Chain A
Amino acid sequence: MTRADPDAGSGGDALTRPFTPGMASNDPGLAELTETVAGRVDIEIVDRETREFVEEWRNASYNCYSSGHKFCREVCPVMQVTRNESWTPTAFHANVVAMERGELDVADVAADYVNCTQCGACELRCPNTLFTGDFYRFRTRTVDVVKAVRALAVDKGVHQPQWQSWNARTDERTHEPVLGEVAVSQDTVRDWAEGLDIPVGGETVLFVDCEAAFYRTSVPRAVAQILQRAGFEFGLMGEQWCCGGPAAEMGYVEQAKRFARHNLDNWRSTGTRRVLVLDPHDYISFTEDYPKYFGDEFDIEIVLVVELLAELLRDGRITPSVPVERTVTYHDPCRLNKRKGIWEEPREILRAIPGLSFTDVDRVTQWSYCSGGGGGLPVEKPDLTAAISARRVDAAATLGVDTLVSACPWSERPLSAAGDARDIDVVDIHELLAESLGITVGGSRGEVGDRRSAGGCGGGSCGGGGGCGS
């Protein structure tokens, strides 16, 4: 097409001037233009559950799909170690768009969605969240999309073998099989508290399940003894089950809800109004999943222990005084820092411990750090978890520290293994605080932790429980 004057406009209508769509003052001529082109091609999705899934998530995913910049990728812990574009937040959204178009179905995509720790880094780094989130009350929701795809897969009978077995055993034992062949059960769930004289039930209970209750028992022991030292009253749960969160993360939603129902009913039966939580994963379950399951019925106050301890510290109810001679950096657990925006209190606690040399790495840099221990990844792909942990410990090693402090029991097992290879101890923040309060913690710091503490038997944490194994 050739026009006489190609730069000449077509005569000054409303579209030849800048305007803000939707303003009352706009030229009424705009309303007279009729749509002649747009029209989506609706693709019939026969399967009802898939159709409902797509209808729920299509726009959320499209907002990622249509964003030009994939800034999430280089902060994604899985992407950083696999460099596989199929396992990126952007792929997880693009697949939904492809499912909407009938190009892919859940059986095609399910296995890819294993490769996510649900750390939430991608959501924070997303320009949609960063730049327009406040105005539109919008936040990119990759974690929820991943959970929804996993749930749809289970719903459609598409299982990942290790997850299926893990959740079946959890269902059988009411606890995750964190000790492998060694059974976990109701009979042993309170063994970690041996000798601490904690009552059962009461208005406030300390919730301790799975990894903390059976594997890294030094964490709940540290917490319980610090609270006792501060004169803070609490009990243990009557019949303690797994929070159900991991099942929900792996797609076994019905099971997760059943576990949640049990726990809520059990709190009711002991007159419990307040639950203290030391595990960030449990904290997500209680503050995000349970309110979704139960709505207004869920009126239990949820208190994160690390926040409570910072408060006790401020109020002078505990005063760390025993110097802990370690050079440390802090690992922001993803579910605290990235998912919940909790990063100040742990640093407050660390700065209050005498003797520590603390090299901090800011919370935004830590968006790209992860232990790889979340979202069921270590169950299905332990090698990938190990690679992510190795990368995290490498970052700590460049700071010249001897200790990496975490605040999440699930992170501490893989990080300890990676730390061992670089001669870096992985210690829980509660363990460290207890030590500085002169408490002999006891319990087990896991296989690697116990072996390393046995080597020097430092830190006064080698008593009782799992003991100084090797």
Chain B
Amino acid sequence: MRIVTITPERLSTEQVDRVVERLRTVLRDEQILTSKTDRYNRARVPAPFPVHRWAERVPDLAVLPTSTDEVAAVVRIANELRVPIVPRDGGTGLTDGAVPLRGGIVVDVKRMNEIHELDLENRTVTVGTGINMLKLNEQLARHGLIYPDDPASYPCSLVGGRIGTSGWSLIGARYGHTRDLVLSFDHVLPTGEVIHVGDGIGGKISKSSSGYQLKHLFMGHQGTLGIATKATLKLYPQPEAELSPFWAFDNYDDAYRCVGALARAGVATFAGAVLFDEWKVAYLRRDDEAYIPQPADVRALVCAVMYGYEDEVRPAGRRLFRIAKEHGARYLGDEISEGDWAARHDRYATPLHGRTKAGQVVPMSWHCEDAAVSYTRVPAVTKAWHEIVAGLRRRTDVFDDWGMFAYTSADTGVDYLTEIDIGIWEQQLGDEAWELWVQAKRDIAAAALRHGGSISACHGSCREGEVDLVPQELGRGFEVMLDVKRTLDPNNIMNPGKYLLDLAYEPGAATALAALRGGSG
């Protein structure tokens, strides 16, 4: 049940023409895209998408600015004409921050992919937010440096999207996550004003205690507070050595205990550990060459990864191998370990793995639901989530359970990104299946909250379903969110319809919030 329903008012053709006319005063014609394909191809992201209702998500036009000034000029016009703006970077997010819900102008930053300044002495690089991390690292490699922000979408996501979603990195336990790696950035507010966000007036300070710490506020807002255009990033030496052992277990419990012990060991080169549950191993057995040859008693896996100098990683590796052995681990060998870690970005998106319960191969969209959960709650959340997906599968083959990963978020093992991968047969998706899905998302979010976690460690939590529980998770903090939104975006033009932020402009917000908080258990 949606508490808030807003009838989206779409622009008329005449209004769109007027917007285009104004945009032509600040952009070249070829930067303004109005064709149907331009708009249809900027309507979706990999998050589950109601294909049957694609047309409702199509923006009125898209623009391809090349500078902060151009972005600011576009936003000023939009604010003046009260036209929605939807920032789009890689468009690879797993929540739907970049999906237009009210039409309007998609501001696509991909052309802002310059490297503005490489500062070898202070170890920073300043880039346009439209640059991809892999491409950036190709340039940095010449200097023996690396920008270690490593999401699953590493080969295609962009720095700006990482800021807008406050991204999570696979090797964050060693290098930190996006919020730690981005030192500062230029940001266009919903009114078109440009501010510099981050510590220090020069943009290259990693810790300051001067004033409110605004950086976190302008990260992870899913495009509702504006657009980051230029960012200064922290750089590290390219690691000399990588060690990524994969271990097999004949039961989940031992694997779970092992991953906890590895993370708690306090090894300085430890960059992360991943736990594969029994469902994930069964899923990999559907076809994966790496696991088919494994004996049937392999039911759970753990991998850990270390980065550093050779003479740091070697002894650290010996320590972790010893811990793994004490927990009943069987090492899978160098070939699988190195190969699987190298393939970590490619492993996720495999539509061909989709199956009906009877085993028919059907093309399914990969989808991943995440939460942040304390170590001690990981098994309970794992169980609850599989049960939610089993409930879907009892009714339909539109959904498939592709198993779960739990990843360490931090170097001490305090909390884990848990994620369940779900295949969705979008070709068979209609309104009824979509409603089932939205309810499942509420249930998935509720399970994470019930166990003291957060609805999302990395994707964001603004989609239909889960978003209903955000006021519950944030408590009074959600009202602060509304106040901030109203202050910074007086006309609600910046990515409207997301995160229940329309409530900032509703007189009956208190009642709606009370209903959401009371009725979402």
**Which A residues have a C-beta under 8 Å from some C-beta of B?**
2, 6-7, 9-10, 13, 15-16, 18-23, 30-31, 33, 35-41, 59, 62-63, 65-71, 73-74, 83-86, 88, 90-91, 94-95, 97-98, 101, 103-104, 108-109, 112, 125, 127-128, 130-132, 134-136, 138, 398
Q: Are A68 and B397 in contact (CB under 8 A)?
A: no
CB closest chain-A residue, reference B435: A37
Q: Are B521 and A9 in contact (CB under 8 A)?
A: no
Q: Are B348 and A38 in contact (CB under 8 A)?
A: no
Q: Which of the segments B20-28, B37-45, B118-126 contacts the partner chain?
A: B37-45
Residues of A within 8 A of B38 (CB): 86
Q: Are A38 and B433 in contact (CB under 8 A)?
A: yes
Residues of B within 8 A of A135 (CB): 287-289
Q: Are B51 and A83 in contact (CB under 8 A)?
A: no
CB closest chain-A residue, reference B427: A40
Given contacts A22-B355, A67-B366, A69-B153, is CB(A36)–CB(B395) below 8 Å? yes
B132 to chain A, nearest CB (A): 5
Tell me, in angstroms, the Cα distance from A30 to B64 when the chains sit together: 50
Q: Which of the segments B235-243, B277-285, B500-508 contacts the partner chain?
A: B277-285
Within 8 A of A (CB), among B366-390: 366-368, 380, 383-384, 386-387, 390
Q: Are A68 and B54 in contact (CB under 8 A)?
A: no
Q: Per-residue CB proximity of B127-144 to A under 8 Å, as 1/0?
A: 000101011000000100
CB closest chain-B residue, reference A17: B278
Q: Are B343 and A131 in contact (CB under 8 A)?
A: yes
B281 to chain A, nearest CB (A): 7
| Top 8 closest pairs, chain A to chain B, by CB | A22-B359, A68-B46, A66-B365, A37-B396, A21-B355, A15-B390, A18-B282, A38-B428
A168 to chain B, nearest CB (A): 27
CB closest chain-A residue, reference B133: A74
Residues of B within 8 A of A70 (CB): 90-92, 156
CB closest chain-B residue, reference A125: B155
Q: Are B433 and A68 in contact (CB under 8 A)?
A: no
B337 to chain A, nearest CB (A): 17
B286 to chain A, nearest CB (A): 6
Tell me, in angstroms, the Cα distance from A283 to B424 when the chains sit together: 40
Q: Are A63 and B351 in contact (CB under 8 A)?
A: yes
Q: Are B394 and A95 in contact (CB under 8 A)?
A: no
Q: Which of B35, B156, B350, B425 contacts A108 (CB 8 A)?
A: B35
Residues of A within 8 A of B366 (CB): 66-68
Q: Are A18 and B281 in contact (CB under 8 A)?
A: yes
A289 to chain B, nearest CB (A): 27
Ordered by A's residue number, 18 sampled pairs between the chains whose C-beta atoms are within 8 Å are A15-B393, A16-B387, A21-B355, A21-B357, A37-B398, A59-B363, A67-B46, A68-B153, A69-B346, A74-B132, A83-B130, A86-B38, A97-B51, A112-B35, A112-B37, A127-B346, A127-B348, A136-B287
Q: Per-residue CB proximity of B331-370 to A under 8 Å, as 1/0?
A: 0000000000001011111111101111111011111100
Q: Are B352 and A104 in contact (CB under 8 A)?
A: no
Q: Are B391 and A10 in contact (CB under 8 A)?
A: yes
**Which B residues have a C-beta under 8 Å from some C-beta of A?**
33, 35-38, 40-42, 44, 46, 51-52, 54-55, 64, 88, 90-92, 94, 108, 110-111, 113, 130, 132, 134-135, 142, 152-153, 155-156, 278-279, 281-283, 285-289, 343, 345-353, 355-361, 363-368, 380, 383-384, 386-387, 390-391, 393-398, 400-401, 403, 424-428, 430, 432-433, 436, 446-447, 450, 521
Tell me, in angstroms, the Cα distance from A138 to B152 when the chains sit together: 23
Q: Are B450 and A6 in contact (CB under 8 A)?
A: yes
Residues of B within 8 A of A18 (CB): 278-279, 281-283, 401, 403
A66 to chain B, nearest CB (A): 4
Q: Are A69 and B393 in contact (CB under 8 A)?
A: no
Given contacts A9-B387, A103-B55, is CB(A68)–CB(B346) below 8 Å? no
Q: Are A85 and B346 in contact (CB under 8 A)?
A: no
Q: Are A71 and B156 in contact (CB under 8 A)?
A: yes
Q: Which of B44, B134, B350 contacts A131 (CB 8 A)?
A: B350
Q: Are A136 and B352 in contact (CB under 8 A)?
A: yes
Q: Are B430 and A85 in contact (CB under 8 A)?
A: no
Q: Are A30 and B357 in contact (CB under 8 A)?
A: yes
CB closest chain-B residue, reference A132: B352
Main secondary structure of the interface of B (DSSP, over half): mixed
Q: Are B387 and A10 in contact (CB under 8 A)?
A: yes
Q: Are B111 and A20 in contact (CB under 8 A)?
A: no
Tell me, in angstroms, the Cα distance from A74 to B132 when the chains sit together: 8
Tell me, in angstroms, the Cα distance from A31 to B359 when the chains sit together: 11
Tell me, in angstroms, the Cα distance from A400 to B254 when the chains sit together: 55
Q: Are A31 and B54 in contact (CB under 8 A)?
A: no
Residues of A within 8 A of B156 (CB): 69-71, 73-74
Q: Are B446 and A6 in contact (CB under 8 A)?
A: yes
CB closest chain-B residue, reference A30: B357
Residues of B within 8 A of A103 (CB): 36, 40, 54-55
Residues of A within 8 A of B521 (CB): 2, 6
B28 to chain A, nearest CB (A): 13
Tell me, in angstroms, the Cα distance from A97 to B427 when the chains sit together: 9
Residues of A within 8 A of B353 (CB): 132
CB closest chain-B residue, reference A22: B359
Tell me, in angstroms, the Cα distance from A134 to B386 when the chains sit together: 30
CB closest chain-A residue, reference B450: A6
B46 to chain A, nearest CB (A): 3
Tell me, in angstroms, the Cα distance from A127 to B154 when the chains sit together: 13
Q: Are B359 and A69 in contact (CB under 8 A)?
A: no
Given contacts A6-B447, A9-B383, A132-B350, is CB(A62)–CB(B289) below 8 Å? no
Q: Are A69 and B425 in contact (CB under 8 A)?
A: no
Q: Are A74 and B433 in contact (CB under 8 A)?
A: no
Inter-chain pairs besides A6-B450, A16-B386, A35-B396, 4 sampled, C-beta below 8 Å: A18-B283, A33-B393, A68-B92, A98-B54
Tell me, in angstroms, the Cα distance from A95 to B108 when the chains sit together: 19
Q: Are A69 and B36 in contact (CB under 8 A)?
A: no
Given contacts A85-B41, A127-B350, is CB(A33)–CB(B394) below 8 Å? yes
Tell me, in angstroms, the Cα distance from A77 to B274 when the chains sit together: 35
B160 to chain A, nearest CB (A): 13
Tell me, in angstroms, the Cα distance from A125 to B134 when the chains sit together: 13
Given contacts A6-B450, A67-B366, A69-B348, is CB(A15)–CB(B394) below 8 Å? yes
Q: Are A37 and B432 in contact (CB under 8 A)?
A: yes
Q: Are B33 and A86 in contact (CB under 8 A)?
A: yes
Given contacts A7-B383, A35-B397, is CB(A104)–CB(B349) below 8 Å? no
B175 to chain A, nearest CB (A): 21
Residues of A within 8 A of B401 (CB): 18
Given contacts A39-B430, A67-B349, is CB(A91)–CB(B37) below 8 Å? yes
B22 to chain A, nearest CB (A): 22
CB closest chain-B residue, reference A36: B395
Question: Which of A10, A91, A103, A132 has most chain B Cβ within 10 Å?
Answer: A132
Tell me, in angstroms, the Cα distance from A235 to B18 when the chains sit together: 66
Residues of A within 8 A of B367 (CB): 68
Tell me, in angstroms, the Cα distance from A21 to B354 when the chains sit together: 10
Q: Which of A15, A16, A66, A101 contacts B364 (CB 8 A)?
A: A66
Tell me, in angstroms, the Cα distance from A18 to B251 when the chains sit together: 13
CB closest chain-A residue, reference B110: A83
Residues of B within 8 A of A13 (CB): 390, 394
A30 to chain B, nearest CB (A): 5
A112 to chain B, nearest CB (A): 5
Tell me, in angstroms, the Cα distance from A19 to B44 when the chains sit together: 32
Given contacts A9-B383, A10-B387, A20-B285, is CB(A69)–CB(B394) below 8 Å? no
CB closest chain-A residue, reference B139: A398
Q: Are B352 and A85 in contact (CB under 8 A)?
A: no
Q: Are A86 and B41 in contact (CB under 8 A)?
A: yes
Residues of A within 8 A of B36 (CB): 103-104, 108
Q: Which of B130, B152, B358, B430 contacts A31 (CB 8 A)?
A: B358
A448 to chain B, nearest CB (A): 28
